[in-house]
Amino acid sequence: MRIATWNVNSVRARTDRIIDWLGRSDVDVLAMQETKCKDEQFPYERFKEIGYEVAHVGLSQWNGVAIASRVGLDDVQIGFEDQPGFDKDPEADPVREARAIGATCGGVRVWSLYVPNGRELEDPHYAYKLDWLAKLRDDAEGWLKQDPDAQIALVGDWNVAPTDDDVWDPAFFEGKTHTSQPERAAFTAFTESGFADVVRPYTPGPGVYTYWDYTQLRFPKKQGMRIDFILGSPAFAARVEAAEIDRNERKGKGASDHAPVIVNLG
């Protein structure tokens, strides 16, 4: 079985490209982030035509996550149990954004995750990001304690570059989000809870990225970041036989600023 994650940066703008890629990649399960549409706007029929069921949650033109599967799509859950919400007005009730969706696909519990960006270190969104990651970690640790043999994949755009090898220039990111010590510690906490970065052993760095900003010719200059990950439970990690980052999908007109990340399971 092949499982992939891809921040598509608008599923409606890139439907043809995604459908074509699914036809070429032989991926069984695709987790998508930043779909940027409401549920009723998602192009379900295009996926159905090529044999994929889709579970999606989208509340507006921002955020949005989905799972497309041709090996079953069961027990769909929108948001994890303790997922926090956010509102820029501290007096308002926090809104749980469309940033997490889970489903069981071919015996694997897949979570498509779009971790908050954080914006700036002093922004309330940064504190929200750290809380979001901490709550997800606590819940994920609980899932493993409940069933140590569970096959769980936490996949998506984590908006964290865990090491200096994961950015094109560490000095450029000093004092900015994505590389701060608290964010890196929040990411590492997942590995301490038993989840493994199952892609990195097959795609070692430095200089191996999953995201390149549209500005400043970042892609041709190879100035990227590794921020898209597949973290697997022990039972899931034991099945991984290969992994890749499809850098070619960042090329050409109309590409997302992220590349798909794929694992092969035995």
| 157 among annotated binding-site residues | yes
| 258 among annotated binding-site residues | yes
Distance CA 126, CA 132 (A): 10
| 159 among annotated binding-site residues | yes
Distance CA 155, CA 160 (A): 13
pLDDT given for residue 90 in this prediction? 78
Asked whether the predicted pLDDT for residue 245 surpasses 90, the reply is yes
> What average pLDDT does range 88-116 have in this prediction?
94
Structure confidence at residue 89 as a pLDDT band (50, 70, 90): confident
Catalytic member of 157, 166, 197, 228: 157
Distance CA 101, CA 208 (A): 27
pLDDT given for residue 174 in this prediction? 96
| 7 among annotated binding-site residues | yes
pLDDT given for residue 178 in this prediction? 98
pLDDT given for residue 42 in this prediction? 98
> What average pLDDT does range 98-105 have in this prediction?
98
Note if 258 is an active site residue.
yes
Torsion angle of alpha carbons 1, 15, 38, 186, nearest 10°? 50
> What average pLDDT does range 99-108 have in this prediction?
98
**All residues at 6 or more sequence positions from 43 whose CB lies less than 8 Å from its CB, including other chains:** 11, 12, 15
Catalytic member of 56, 209, 228, 258: 258
Q: What's the whole-number average pLDDT of the chain?
A: 97
Asked whether the predicted pLDDT for residue 91 surpasses 80, the reply is no
Catalytic member of 114, 128, 209, 211: 114
Calculate what percentage of the chain has a pLDDT beyond 90: 96
Convert the pLDDT of each residue in 5-50 to its tens digit: 999 999 999 999 999 999 999 999 999 999 999 999 999 999 999 9
Note if 157 is an active site residue.
yes
Asked whether the predicted pLDDT for residue 159 surpasses 90, the reply is yes
